Amino acid sequence: MAKKILFVGAEVMPFAATGGLGDVMGSLPAALKAKYDEDVDVRVVVPLYAAVSDTVRAQMTLEKAFTVQLAWRNQYCGVYSLVKDNVTFYFIDNEFYFKRDRLYGHGDDGERYAYFCRAVLEMMDRLDYYPDVLHANDWQAALSIVYLKTKYAWNEKYAAIKTVFTIHNIEYQGQYDFAMLGDVFDIGAEHYTLMSYDGCINLCKAAIECADKVSTVSPTYAHEIMTPTYSHRLHFILARNSHKVMGILNGIDIDFYNPSADTDIPALYSAEDVSGKAECKLAFQKEYCLPEAADAPIIAVISRLASHKGIDLISGVLRHVLDMHPKAQFVVLGTGEGQYEAYFRQLENDYKDRVRSFITYNRALSKKIYAAADIFLMPSRSEPCGLSQMIACRYGTVPVVRETGGLYDSIKPYFEDEAGPHGNGFTFANYNASELEERTSAALYLYEKFPAKFAALVNRAMTTDFSWDASAVKYMEMYESL
Ligand code: GLC
């Protein structure tokens, strides 16, 4: 019998997504299906946001429509489905909650995702589909596990469902006022202890306590969140549940991120023949009015512009780096905190012939930058997994990263010994601007003075395996162990 796995989460690529969670929800299910085929039945459930295009909607089938109760509320729920890459996607339709311009950041997010989680459990009964594993991702899906254990498990059809809670970023925990416990979350006072932490309701904490397994998106992050430096205060909870915590490194969709078949970039290339990468650089320089020079190193940053991504370190040293390497060019793509958006705008103004700042988010442009650039900066303070460093490698752009979380697990430092050259990037240990500057300069130095060595490093980066292959096996082993 095929193992039935249901992924629950707030976003999924390519339907509606804003970040790494969406990438994983969009690529891991298909990878499991590709690897285990008949042995798994993989489905995904997400809200039907306004952002889902009409073209996609036209391919959907309405499976069921019913009413979901949440405390005193009676809310409409439509369940639509569509199949892609042999994975069934369910979309929970309620326009009052989900027909909005942004996915999150609304005052009633707690209520919206409580409704969503409740709808997921009701959907099982209406579709007569009970998964073997309910795999909930991040705080927005946390209540699906809590509801299963507190409200549904008495029903024998639900009783056998096992649960996995995956933490993509422990910073966001779903913290709410106690007044919402019964009125919004529809949870009785008998579960007060389960739901509360640090003087408020904490949905992530409750899911950690209830889940059969807790996973995070890299082995190193699984260790880090056991410590106060990284746990955002949940280390006490994780420590007492440590027997069920594990880390599995994310992969990326290597077909979507594939420089030898990418329609968003001007010239195709591969590890065997990288000549197209130079064309991508020249085309980029031309399009954005930078000096056209194949030998001018381009440094890139593609990131949310937030200090925990290390943007404060970058802004501390970048001018000095550019002054020391007069040929180098710099490109940034992203939005975020006002101070950093302003910093990069000003930088472009001060280095008009060398810097381009795109204060926006644009997937197609991001691929053009990955293809055009040589060096990719990602000095995060913490990074549960990080996908950009993997994408950069895939496009032959050498990452400079801080040794934390998934960055530590995916990027190995460049060095040479008797056995030859090693590594697929540059790394540094401490969250410190001078360490970032020193490693960035080392990368530029190698690029400028030892082109053959740099080319070999590019080759090692491009041939590192970032596919889901190995990790899909680990997920399957985790499901089997339940
Ligand atoms: C979150 C994390 C990021 C991770 C992604 C997917 O966005 O911040 O590090 O790669 O989730 O798991």
* pLDDT for position 69: 97
Q: Is 217's C-beta closer than 6 angstroms to any atom of ligand 1?
A: yes
Any atom of ligand 1 within 6 Å of the Cβ of 252 = no
The protein residue with its alpha carbon nearest to ligand 1, atom 12, reads: 168
CA of 372 to the centre of ligand 1 (A): 24
The one-digit pLDDT tens for each residue of the chain (482 residues) are 899 999 999 999 999 998 899 999 999 999 999 999 999 999 999 999 999 999 999 999 999 999 999 999 999 999 999 999 999 999 999 999 999 999 999 999 999 999 999 999 999 999 999 999 999 999 999 999 999 999 998 999 999 999 999 999 999 999 999 999 999 999 999 999 999 999 999 999 999 999 999 999 999 999 999 999 999 999 999 999 999 999 999 999 999 999 999 999 999 999 999 999 999 999 999 999 999 999 999 999 999 999 899 999 999 999 999 999 999 999 999 999 999 999 999 999 999 999 999 999 899 999 999 999 999 999 999 999 999 999 999 999 999 999 999 999 999 999 999 999 999 999 999 999 999 999 999 999 999 999 999 999 999 999 999 999 999 999 999 999 99
42 lines ligand 1 (CB under 6 A): no
Residue in this structure with the two tokens 């691929």, named with its chain if needed: 367
Element (H, E) at 245: strand 245-247
CB of 136 within 8 A of CB of 163? yes
Give the per-residue pLDDT at 325. Answer: 97
Q: Which of 170, 217, 303 to mutate to test the pocket of ligand 1 (most atoms within 8 A of CB)?
A: 217
Which residue has its alpha carbon closest to ligand 1 atom 5? 20
Q: Which of 462, 478, 3 is nearest to 217 (CA)?
A: 478
Nearest CA to ligand 1 atom 6: 20
Per-residue CA distances from 459 to 274, 397, 464, 465, 470 (Å):
9, 10, 9, 12, 21
Residue 1: what pLDDT? Answer: 85
Q: Which atom in ligand 1 lies closest to the alpha carbon of residue 250? A: 12
Whether the CB-CB separation of 25 and 12 falls below 8 Å is answered with: yes
pLDDT score of 294: 96
CB 208 within 8 A of CB 235: no
Kindly report the protein residue whose alpha carbon is nearest to atom 7 of ligand 1: 20
Of 232, 250, 475, best ligand 1 pocket probe by most atoms within 8 Å of the beta carbon: 250
Among 251, 250, 256, 257, which Cα is nearest to 395's?
A: 257
Q: How far apart are CA 331 and CA 147, in angstroms?
A: 46
DSSP assignment, residue 467?
Answer: S
Question: Which 3 state secondary structure label does DSSP give 460?
Answer: helix
CA of 122 relative to ligand 1 center, distance in Å: 29
Burial class (CB in 10 A: 0-12, 13-18, 19+), 101: exposed
Amino acid in the structure at residue 82: L
Cis peptide before 266 (omega within 30 of 0): no
